[in-house]
Structure 1
Amino acid sequence: MGLFDKMFKSERDVAKEEIKRVPWNELTSLSQLDEIEAESEKQPVAILKHSTRCGISRMVLKQFENDYKEEYRNVKLYFLDLLNHRDVSNEITSRFKVQHESPQLLILSNGEVVHHSSHQDIQAESLGAAGN
């Protein structure tokens, strides 16, 4: 990304460009959490909670995407912009009984959290373990 792109694009636009490398599904509504829970009965589902204003969160996202492998495609991925969807983030905390952190990765299987990590502990490799 060039200097002018950084100067004239919003942080949200930059974040959207960053998430294109991995097959993310945007998580934007509370009703999607019911769908995600149901999906996790058929295949593992991961939710990445990301703050578009946080340098650490951006660094973790880039590292995750750089380490993402095609073999992880059996885990469906959801991306939550928690600044724009705080209500969804709060419901995740309440519903899945995992303390809020940012950035944070949660992996669900059969409606239960089977893995969660935050900050530099977030690794794309976690998807491989969950998907097998």
Structure 2
Amino acid sequence: MNKIDSIEEFDKLTEEENPFFFMKHSLTCPVSQAAFDEFEKYAGNSEVPCYYLAVQEARPLSSHIEETFHVKHESPQAILFTKANVAWHASHWKITKKSLATALEENQ
């Protein structure tokens, strides 16, 4: 699992990775920490690359994703990208190891 901080890094991902998961994580929210823990559990056993950003440290990137892909910003938020498009997204308590695995299965 790798942290992404810039729009340039993210745009490179959308060009080179297919599929991949991306997580928007708040460093100050306990709900976000719980979702991030689930994301980490999933990423530890996933063959699909998993990336994240810390919203407080990468607001321009967070806004770029919202504006480019028309996915209303939420934090925490997990997004599955396939072929440089959003295939699935979830927020808050809907982010679980199981929901991530199911999303991938349903969108391959």
Residue among 17, 27, 49 paired with 2:24? 49
After superposition, the C-alpha distances for 1:49-68 in whole angstroms (9 at most, x for unaligned) are 00001111011112333455
- Measure, in 1, the Cα distance between the counterparts of 2:79 and 2:41: 19
Pair 127,38 (structure 1): closer, same or farther in 2 beyond 3 Å? farther
SS at match of 2:72: coil
- Measure, in 2, the Cα distance between the counterparts of 1:120 and 1:87: 25
Moved more, 60-69 or 118-127: 60-69
Kept after mapping to 2: 8 A contact 1:26/1:80: yes
Alpha-carbon deviation of 1:36? 1.5
Alpha-carbon deviation of 1:123? 2.1
Matched, 1:119 2:92: yes
Query: For structure 2, which runs of at least 5 residues remain unmatched after alignment?
Result: none
TM-score between both structures, scaled by the size of structure 2: 0.86
RMSD: 1.8
TM-score between both structures, scaled by the size of structure 1: 0.71
After superposition, the C-alpha distances for 1:7-47 in whole angstroms (9 at most, x for unaligned) are xxxxxxxxxxxxxxxxx11111110121111124xx21111
Matched, 1:109 2:107: no
Residue among 89, 93, 98 paired with 2:71? 98
- Measure, in 2, the Cα distance between the counterparts of 1:129 and 1:118: 13
Aligned residue identity for 2:3: E
Give the length in aligned residue pairs.
105
Kept after mapping to 1: 8 A contact 2:5/2:58: yes
Greater Cα radius of gyration, structure 1 or 2: 1
